[in-house]
Structure 1
């Protein structure tokens, strides 16, 4: 009976470990996101060289609303750059201040490791006078 209890505890522990690893891997970008507060250095719409054909009742591809964003962090003076398909970036102008959450590529994507694929605009405001 004691052996069965040990086996059951071991299997349950293994299943719990696998579940935790799966949650971390599936949500890596959110768990390890970086919040950047600072001045918007540049925000540009990424123009795609494609013809836009809309279907009746169809949705446009999200890539049409792609932006490239660069923010200078107030604390470290480091520049953070990312692309985003968040339409809120359409109103952001160079020289304004913003708080944005940058989502990193996971380390197992070796060619993109250390870079960011998403920048979610959290707060937009006028920079205080220096």
Structure 2
């Protein structure tokens, strides 16, 4: 299995020349529907992925809906910041930091690969990445 993974890394990936990266971002941003009820996410600063994961797993979760984010302390009291973009940016920065430091990746710095038994975690990361369009 490891040999197959290593061999696939040596293959040249297919190129997509039909859309520029800015076109891709614009297309993704077009999915945001500000008319929908916002997705409320309450997170504790030291456990950002836990809060995000709970929100993503809710049956009412909609990644295209606006995000209403609150940072909470350990006992559930809101920090009181009004989310006009700053808390969202901080949330996604902290979430990506937690992801990069998680056990989802294996290997030496600069040479890491995804651990294959983390399917639920990868799904959550994909959703989080998509949700960054709300910033």
TM-score by length of 2: 0.25
> Who wins on radius of gyration, i.e. which is larger?
1
- Relative to total residues, which structure has the larger strand share, 1 or 2? 1
- Relative to total residues, which structure has the larger helix share, 1 or 2? 2
TM-score by length of 1: 0.25
